[in-house]
Every structure is written in structure tokens, then in C-alpha cells.
Chains A and B, each alone.
Chain A
């Protein structure tokens, strides 16, 4: 296979992942091209790129999900390749096919692989063909016209508790847990309606729910020459409402023997479908040590940085290299041998003390943590509004250290450094989580967090000590005394801080 030329990449995404991909482009001497919706004109991914193209109104359906406008922007920019990031059209086979038809290199798997693995039921069949066990469930989606009695019979056969899941699903959308048969039909209706609006496909299927599984996943890369390389596992069991909030690698629950078994199972599934580029096989690890194929994500994952931190590899760079037709020259043993430990926290613009309600608005001030072992992948800056139209994740904070306890200490230190004003973030929640004995000792499973959150009854995650309340009191009064214009000359730093403050003010 001849080498494909990639000199300019259109990034069909926004936010932190668009910035992340642009960074890899720059390092490779490739020109990054951004796209933006109306509310994203001033977003960091636009400011960071070489070129930027408007693709429509803020609602995703009218911009980031518009295949025609993305292809048009790619044509106009002269890009030779397209990177979809994650979310939006990243797992949309039509988009991958439209890129191919337009002569653009799609940096991801083939449309055929996306279509096959994007159907959760078809993916389960593929896993079984590769000899990998799946959680018991319906072979096919529930027929749209299936009678209530048929659905109830299927559910009875699979057994309770069970999950109703969107065939096209992801991120917990279009998914419902059913503990009591009386709730089944309502759950099917709710899942269908949510799946229909989120994915444009209302089909759902039923799967047994393991009681206390851990979520373990295997990142892999496949080149166009038949090489598939699996990576050391990631654990993503800390989830809130089926959304991952903390990811780490390696997993405390995975022994070297289990790692060998899970990573070779993952590679087998990928080979069965001739998978190319980056993908992730998700497994559920049961309490008895048996594991089951859950689904395959045919794209770069949000949590890819933790794998990069413990292997020293740049997964986005490899995605681009694979799309160019290059061979994977990664040492397979090195990909499976983590150096140290990495943990990621997904920092959201949500108010953890108010049931995690989104907290959109203007970021007045932002200073990310830095220093040894810290990586902050973010698309947010001061002066930007967190839009209401998209996922409110503002940053991925990643800590690396020699071992897990040190990585956790480093994360605690970094969380303490995170300075965000103007919006609420989930930082206080993580501060609390990293003090929980279950988290510290690794005694958790996919419903641990929801269970423990239920018992908190809205108590604040970080309760200020009396001394802190005094300091806040003093600060509020002095904030009024030292109004920005009247601050004393002695208090004004001699460097350019005033200028930058004025710049921030000017953006309002």
C-alpha cells in the first residue's frame, strides 16, 4: 500500500479534543484546520488552528453534525485528511464514507468497521466469533413493533436485573437499568425516546446487568498491514450515571495473567473485523474474575491520555501515521508494560453541590495546574463562555507518577491548584473522591459512585473549616474595599498583570 500524503488536517470537532489533535498536527508539521459553530467563534480550538471555517448555528445538528458543511470546509481549505475526534460524527459510518468519497483521508477506521462495531448487537456477534464471551442478552434489537408481551418474555429469559440499551448508544444515553419487571416497559419507552433523539436510531436491546462489575477497557491500534497492537488496560469504573468521571491505568484489579488474557481477547476481536486505526474494546470484569465483551468504540477515547502517560506514546500521532499507510513499529511488549501509573479526572462545568447541574456561563478566570507529572488537556480559557449546546467538560486533568498512591497525591495537589472563577466545576467533588477509602484502596465497581452519592443527601463535597470561612469573609470585604480601579499602587504588581486583566475585561 502506497503512502498517503497528509499535509493539512480538518478537525471535525471542537473543544479540548480539537486542540489536542491540533497539537499533534503542529508537532508533525501538518497544518490544523478548525471548524466552528456560531457560539464557538472565540473558542480556543479556533484560535489555535491555522485556518477556521464557520459551519453554522450553535446547535450540533446544524453545525458539528452537518456532514455536507464539514466536507465543504475540507474542500475549501484544501485539507487532505479529516480527524473526527470523539463524539459528534466520530462513530458515524456515513461521515467516514463521505470523506472517502470526497477523496479525503479519514483518520479512523473504515466506514464498514464503524458500521459493524457501531451496532452493539452486531459487535456482540463479532466478539463471539472471535471467541470472546459477551454478557447474556438479546441477539438482535427489539423489533420496533414488538408487543409488550414479547418484550417481557425476552426480559424474563435474560433475567433481572437487566439493562435496556440503545443499539447505537454510548455514554450512558439511551440506557436504563431495570430491577423490577414492572418498570420494564417504561424503561424501554424511555430508552427508545432518548436513543432516538440522541442518535437518530431508536432501536434498543436487552442485556443482563452484572451486579458489581468493573469497567476495564483495552486501547488498540491497527495498521493497514494487518498488525494489531493492544495496550495495557485502562480502568474506568468510577462512573456517574454511566458516564466515566475518573480513568486510570493500569488497573488494580488486573493481574499480569488477566492482562494477557484481556488484551489478547481485544486484539482477537479487532482482527476478526480487520480493524484499522485507534479503537477501544470495553469489557466488564465480574467479581469472580471472568470478563465479558461490552462494546467497541471505533475512535479515539476521551481518556486516551492516561495510556499515553504510561507508555510514552502519542496515540494521535500514530492515528495519523496509520492513516498515511505507515506500519506500526511499536514494540508490542512495551505497549503492554506500563511505566508508573496515570489517573485522569474529567473536570466539568457542573455544580457538584447541586446534583451536578450544568453550570454554563463565562469563565472569568482560569489557571490550570502544572508542574511535575501533570497534564491538563483543555479547550477552556478565561473570557470564554461555556456553551449550553455541548458536553460541559472543560478539561481533562491527568496525573502521572511512579505508582498509584503517588499519582493520587499528585492529583490531589493539582486539584488544589485548579483556579476557575465565574462558573462552578466538579473540582470539589474530585477533592472529596480522592479522600474516600474505597477509592484509595481500589475497592470500587461501576455503580460504586452512584451508590455513595445517593447517601450524601446534598451535603457539600468540601465543607469549609472555620478558618476558611473567616478567610472568605475577609476576602469578600476586601474585594469590596479593593475594587479593581482603586487598588493601591503597592498592591499592583509591576509586571504585565494589569494589562492581562484589562484584556480579560475587554473581552466581556
Chain B
């Protein structure tokens, strides 16, 4: 079985061969001998060689990636190119193309701090969303110009709602 796995912006070619209850895995040709046991729907116990790792894996609804935790270290992983960029506030793509800022959770727009046509700097607050008793600032991932502003003060929004487009 062959997979494309994206970690930290780099795609790795992963090939998996099953040999009894062990797996022979290569990452871009580098070989690993792995014993893997599924503990439940989210948890795998891996013995890579003899090194023991407990790994939890769950989909991240906001980004479409897998949220993998190795021990307590979180790693964002895209499987077979499922990773998406530019959807995620400060983690938005710092490269080219329009940047879309979406609501990370359901809430109410309490303030809109910029308007269409405004030039914005990286990390500049754009919209304030109230949820979970707190006001949360959504910020620009990089500098640019506000191409579209969909958020309106007082409006209730669902998670994933497109609020701002930065060109």
C-alpha cells in the first residue's frame, strides 16, 4: 500500500508492506520495522524497531487534516493530499493566492475591524467573534488587501463560515 503523507509542508512517499503482525514501512525509501496495535478508534501503539510510541489520531474538522499526537506532541498530517492550506487564521498559507479567513467555531460577530479595500499587516486583527464567553480576535495570516468582507456585526456564524478574503 502506498500513501502520500504531508507533514510540515513536505510530502513524503510512504510504502507499507505487511509481514505477519509486523509492518515494513518506508518513508521516501528510508526503512522502518514497525509493530502496530490498534487500541481503539483513535489510538495506536507503535513499536518502531523497539521504540515505543503511543499515538492518537483524529480528524481536524477545521482544516481537513489529521491531528496526530505522538505522546503529547501534536503533529498536523495530511494523508493522500487531503491537507488544505489557507483556511485557518494564523496558520493560513503564507504563500500567494487569496487568503480566506473562516470562523473557527460557531459564535457571534461582535466587531468588524477592517473594511473592503483596507490594507492589512500580518497578524492584524480583522474580526472579533464572541464564543465560549470570550471575545476572540481573528487575524490576518499575512499582509494584503481586504478583497471581501462577509462578516457583519451582530451576525451569528457557524464554524467554517467564510468571513474575510485577503488578496
Binding site for B on A (CB under 8 A): 173, 194, 198, 351, 353-355, 357-361, 364-365, 388-392, 415-422, 424, 427-428, 431, 457-458, 460, 462, 464, 468-482, 484, 487-488, 490-493, 497-498, 500-501, 504-505
Partner of B79, one of A173, A364, A480, A491: A480
Per-position binary interface string of chain B over residues 12-48, scored 1 when its CB falls under 8 Å from any chain A CB and 0 otherwise? 1010101001010101001010101111111110101
Known contacts A428-B74, A470-B27, A482-B36, A360 near B136 by CB under 8 Å: no
Q: Which residues of B contact A490 (CB under 8 A)?
A: 21, 37
Query: Are B70 and A355 touching (Cβ within 8 A)?
Result: no
Query: Are A471 and B137 touching (Cβ within 8 A)?
Result: no
Query: Are A389 and B66 touching (Cβ within 8 A)?
Result: no
Query: Are A497 and B40 touching (Cβ within 8 A)?
Result: yes
Q: Identify whether the interface residues of B are mostly helix, strand, loop, or mixed.
A: strand
Query: Are B32 and A474 touching (Cβ within 8 A)?
Result: yes
Known contacts A388-B132, A478-B34, A365 near B90 by CB under 8 Å: no
Q: Which residues of B contact A492 (CB under 8 A)?
A: 37-38
Query: Are A479 and B44 touching (Cβ within 8 A)?
Result: yes
Interface-central residue, A419, A460, A469, A504, by most chain B CB under 10 Å:
A469
Query: Are A476 and B25 touching (Cβ within 8 A)?
Result: no
Shortest Cβ distance from A493 into chain B, in angstroms? 7
Closest 7 CB pairs of A and B: A501-B40, A472-B75, A491-B37, A475-B55, A421-B56, A421-B58, A421-B42
Binds A, one of B2-10, B112-120, B143-151: B2-10
Query: Are A472 and B70 touching (Cβ within 8 A)?
Result: yes
Known contacts A476-B3, A482-B38, A389 near B16 by CB under 8 Å: no
Known contacts A474-B46, A479-B44, A354 near B90 by CB under 8 Å: yes
Q: Which residues of A contact B44 (CB under 8 A)?
A: 475, 478-479, 482
For the complex, what is the distance from the CA of A418 to the CA of B90, rounded to whole Å? 26
Query: Are A424 and B67 touching (Cβ within 8 A)?
Result: yes
Shortest Cβ distance from A503 into chain B, in angstroms? 10
Q: Which residues of B contact A173 (CB under 8 A)?
A: 133
Query: Are A474 and B38 touching (Cβ within 8 A)?
Result: no
Query: Are A464 and B73 touching (Cβ within 8 A)?
Result: yes
Known contacts A472-B68, A473-B27, A428 near B73 by CB under 8 Å: yes
Query: Are A468 and B57 touching (Cβ within 8 A)?
Result: no
Q: Which residues of B contact A479 (CB under 8 A)?
A: 44, 57, 66, 79
> Which A residue's beta carbon lies closest to that of B55?
A475
For the complex, what is the distance from the CA of A464 to the CA of B71, rounded to whole Å? 11
Query: Are A357 and B104 touching (Cβ within 8 A)?
Result: yes
Sample of 7 more A-B contacts, CB < 8 Å, known A353-B91, A473-B5, A477-B3:
A468-B75, A470-B27, A473-B14, A474-B48, A479-B66, A479-B79, A484-B41
Partner of A478, one of B12, B23, B75: B23
Query: Are B70 and A471 touching (Cβ within 8 A)?
Result: yes
Q: Which residues of A contact B18 (CB under 8 A)?
A: 481
Q: Which residues of B contact A420 (CB under 8 A)?
A: 56
For the complex, what is the distance from the CA of A474 to the CA of B66, rounded to whole Å? 13
Query: Are B139 and A355 touching (Cβ within 8 A)?
Result: yes
Query: Are A355 and B36 touching (Cβ within 8 A)?
Result: no
A-B contact pairs, 14 of them (CB 8 A): A354-B89, A361-B61, A388-B131, A390-B132, A391-B132, A391-B133, A417-B72, A419-B43, A424-B60, A472-B55, A473-B7, A479-B66, A490-B21, A492-B37
Shortest Cβ distance from B151 into chain A, in angstroms? 15
For the complex, what is the distance from the CA of A478 to the CA of B12, rounded to whole Å? 14
> Which A residue's beta carbon lies closest to that of B103?
A357
Known contacts A421-B57, A458-B90, A462-B73, A360 near B32 by CB under 8 Å: no
Query: Are B104 and A469 touching (Cβ within 8 A)?
Result: no
For the complex, what is the distance from the CA of A474 to the CA of B25, rounded to whole Å? 7
Query: Are A476 and B68 touching (Cβ within 8 A)?
Result: yes
Q: Which residues of A contact B34 (CB under 8 A)?
A: 474, 478
Query: Are A357 and B105 touching (Cβ within 8 A)?
Result: yes
For the complex, what is the distance from the CA of A410 to the CA of B159, rounded to whole Å? 37
Shortest Cβ distance from B129 into chain A, in angstroms? 9
Q: Which residues of A contact B136 (CB under 8 A)?
A: 355, 357-358
Query: Are B75 and A481 touching (Cβ within 8 A)?
Result: no
